[in-house]
A and B are shown apart, each in its own frame.
Chain A
Amino acid sequence: MIVSAAEDLSVFGTDPWWLVCVKAVFVFAFLMVFVLVSIVMERKVVAWMQRRVGPNRHGPWGLLQSLADGVKLMLKEDLIVKGSDKVVFLLAPVVAAIPAFMAFAVIPFGPADHQISIFGERTTMQLTDLPVGILYILATASVGIYGIVLAGWSSNSPYPLLGGLRSTAQMISYEIAMGLSFAAVFIYSGSMSTSEIVNSQDERWFAVLLPVSFIVYIIAMVGETNRAPFDLPEAEGELVGGFNTEYSSIKFAMFMLAEYVNMVTVSAVATTLFLGGWRAPWPISGVWEGANHGWWPMLWFTLKLQLLIFLFIWLRGTLPRMRYDQFMKLGWKVLIPVSMVWLLLVATVRALRNDGYDFQEITLYVAGGVFAVLLVSLLVDYLREKGDKEEEAARSLAPQEQFDPMAGGFPVPPLPGQTLPPVPRRKPRSERQLVPAAAESLNDTVSVDNTAVKETDGA
C-alpha cells in the first residue's frame, strides 16, 4: 500500500443538476425506508429474543408496523409545554433530525468511477465526496446532539433537563474516542475522503488491520446514538423519557426518526471505514469477478449496514443500561487512553513500514507493546485493589461512638453515621431452652398453641 499524497476526487462534482437532485432524493428515501425496515426488524428480532411474536397486524408479517406507528404519531395531539422556551422547543427536534440525514451525503454506495448509468448519464454511486469527508461526518453528528441538549433544556422540566445534561457529557466524551479511532484509519489510508478510504481497503479491511480502532468505534457509535446499553439520556427507568419526556406527536416522531437515522449513519460510517464499504465480503469477492462492479456494491453495502443494525438490536435485547458515571469512566479512563496508545502504535508501525522494515519484525514489536500495556494495566489493577482493601480495613477499625436509641425517652432510628446496639433476637426453636413452669407468665414470646388466649377487658 502506498499513501496517496493528494487524492483524486475529480470524479465528483461533475454530475448535472438533475442527477444531483435524483441522488439526494435517493439518499433521503434510502434512509427513510431503511429506518422503517430497521424499526420493524428491531421489534421482530427483540420479540424473538424474548420468545414473543412481535408485530404482525399491519401488512404481511407486520412489515408496515412502523409506517402505521408513524401515521399514528402524526395524528396525536401536539403539546407545547407552557413554561418552555417555545422557539427552541420547536427547533430542537428539527435540529436533531436534519444533521442525521446530512452525514449520508458522503457515504459511498459504490466505487468512485463511472460504474453505473442513470438515464444515459454515467455516474458514481455517491452523492459527493470531500477531501475531509470524515470530518464533515463528525461535524454533522455533533450538531445533531444539539437537538437533544436543547430539547432537554427548553422543556423546563427536571427529567428532560437531566437527560439533556447526560447527553452533553456523553457526546463530549465519546466524540474524542471516536475521533481517535478515525485517526488510525486516516494514518493507514492516508486520506479523509470516504471513497479513498474504501479504495485503500481493497486488500484487507481496516477492521482486520486495526481491530482496536474498530472495537473502540463500535462502542463509541453505540454511545453516540444513545442506544442501549448507553441510552442514558432517555433512560426510561430513571428519567421517564429523558430529553423527550415533554414531546408528543410529530416532534416526538422526529426524535425517534433522528435516533434511527443516526443509527444507520454511524453504521454506514463503520462500514465505510472498517468493513470495506461497498466491497463484497471475502468468499464472494474471491469467486466472482463482477461482485464489485455495476449495481452490486450497493447490495453488499446494505447487507453490512443491516448486520450492524442487527448488532444494535442484539445489544438492546441483551444488556441492561450502564450507570452514568460508569459510562463516563469507560469513555475517559478506558476508551480514550486505549485509543491514544493504539494510535501511537499505529503511527509507529506506519513510520517503520515507510522506512522499509519488514512486516514480521513490526508485528513482534506491536505484540510486545500490547503485552506490556496489558501487564501494566494488570499490575495497576492489582495494586489498586490492594489499596482499596487496606483503606476499607482502616475504615472498619475506626472507633464509633455509642448511640443510645432511647436517649430522648422514646426509641428513634439511628442517624447516618450512628449505629444501633445489637438487637436481641429470639433464638431458633431448636436452640431454645424450656422455661420452668414458675416463670411461664414472664415468658414474653408469642406462644403458638391452639388455645385462644382469653382476656377479660371489663366488657
Chain B
Amino acid sequence: MEQRIVDAFRRALGAPCVITDPMQLRTYECDGLTNFRVVPALVVIPESAAAVQAAVRICHDERLPFVARGAGTGLSGGALPVAEGVVISLTRLNRILEVDLDNECIIVEPGVINAHVTRHVSDAGYFYAPDPSSQSVCTIGGNIAENAGGAHCLKYGFTVTHVLALDVVLPDGSMVRLGGRAPDRPGYDLAGVFVGSEGTLGIVTRACLRLVKRPATIQTLLAAFHSTDDAGAAVGAIIAAGVLPAAIEIMDRLSIVAAEAAVHAGYPDCGALLLVELDGPASEVDALMARVNALCSACGAWEQRLAASDAERAVVWRGRKAAFAAMGRISPNYIVQDGVIPRTALAAVLREIHELGERAGLRVANVFHAGDGNLHPLVLYDRKVPGQEHAAEALSGEILRICIRAGGSITGEHGVGMEKRAFMAEMFAEPDLDTMQRVRCAFDPQRLANPDKVFPRPRLCGEKTGPYVPHPLEVAGVAEFF
C-alpha cells in the first residue's frame, strides 16, 4: 500500500491503531474458516465510532476495499481479507454504553462479546437471547453481520428480532441510524435488510439490543432414543402438539461420543439424544413438560432425564455447545456444515446424508437445531490420507444440494461468506441475485464493503442485467469477475 495512504490512516486514527508489520498482518489472514487465507494490505483498529468513520472515508476516497472484523470466529470466511484492502477490526469498540432495564434494552458497541451482554444484565434477571455456540468469544457486530442464531432462537428469534436500532457507517463514510424503538415509523425496513448482510452494506458502530426477562422456570430434558429417526419423530410430535420449546436439539451417536470424550457431560449411551428446553411460568412449564415426556415415550425414548438446576443444565449445554470442537477427539480433521431443511424432511435427509457418507467412505456426525430444521453435519476426514480432504469437501457440498432439493437453505446461521458463494446460484435464480445486487448498489455503489463475499459473481453497479456482456472495466483489465 502506498505510504501516503498509510500515513493518512495514521493521521486519522493514531499510529498505534494502524498495523503494517507483515507478521502482525498475518494474524488477520483468516477467520474461523481457516482453509481460506489472504493477508490484508493493512489492518486498522479504531477506538471510536468517529475513527471507524474516518477509516471508511479514507477507503472510500482511495477506492480501497475494506472488510470489517469482529472476533474472527465466523465459519464461512466472511471476514476473509482482500489482499489489496484494509481490515477494520472492531475489537476496541467494546464498551457497553447504556443499560435501560425499564425498557428492556441495552446499547453496545460492536466489539462487545455476546456473552458479556447477558453477563452484564443477568443479576437484574435479564438475558440477551441470541446464543451462537461461540457466544463466549464472538462479538455483537459479527452477530449482526451474520444474523446469528443459536439453540434458543427457535422460541426467541434470531439476531434480527433483537436489534432495535443500529448506527452504521455507510461505505461512503457517512453515518446513518437504521431502525429505532418507535413503532410504525414511515420508512423502509433498512435495519431488517442490513442485519445478515455479512458486512457488505456498511459497518455497525453502535447497536441497541432487546433484552429479555429471564423466564421464571427453565427445565431441560435429555431423552435417549435408539435412532435419529425416532428422535426426529419426537420433535415432529412436540411441534404438532403446539408446544414451542425454547430449544430442541438432536445429537447423533458420533456427536455424543465426541462430546462425552471432550467435556464429560454424562449423556446416556444411546443412538440419538434429544434435548428439549422449556421455559416460562412454572405452572405452564410443568404442564408442557409432562406432555413432552409422554410424546417422547410414545416415540420410543427409553430414558428421560430432567435437568432442573442451573448447574445441571449448564453441564447438558456444555456438551452440546462443545460438539463441533469435540470432533477433534474422534477425527483428525472435519468440516462443519450448516444447512436447513423443513422439519418434516428430517428423517429422509439424514438417511440420504448417511448413504452419501457410506459411499464416500467418510463418517458424518450430526448435531442439529431440530426444532427449526437447521442441520450441522460434521464431515470427518484425515487430511493425511490422499484424496480424503477432497472427498470430504465434495460430500459437504452434496449435503447442501440435498438441503436445497428438500426446499431448505444453504445456511441457517453461519452465513454465505466466501465458502458458499457458488451455492447461492443453486439456491437463487439470476434475477433474485441481481435484485440483491441492486440493493447492495444503493448502499455501496463503489462495491468497497466486503466486496467478494456472499454473491457468486458480483455485478458492478450500473451494469445492465440480462445476457452477459463484459463490463467496460473488465474489458480494460481494471476489474474482473470470478
- To the question of whether A and B form a pair in one complex, the answer is no
Contacts from A to B (Cβ < 8 Å): none
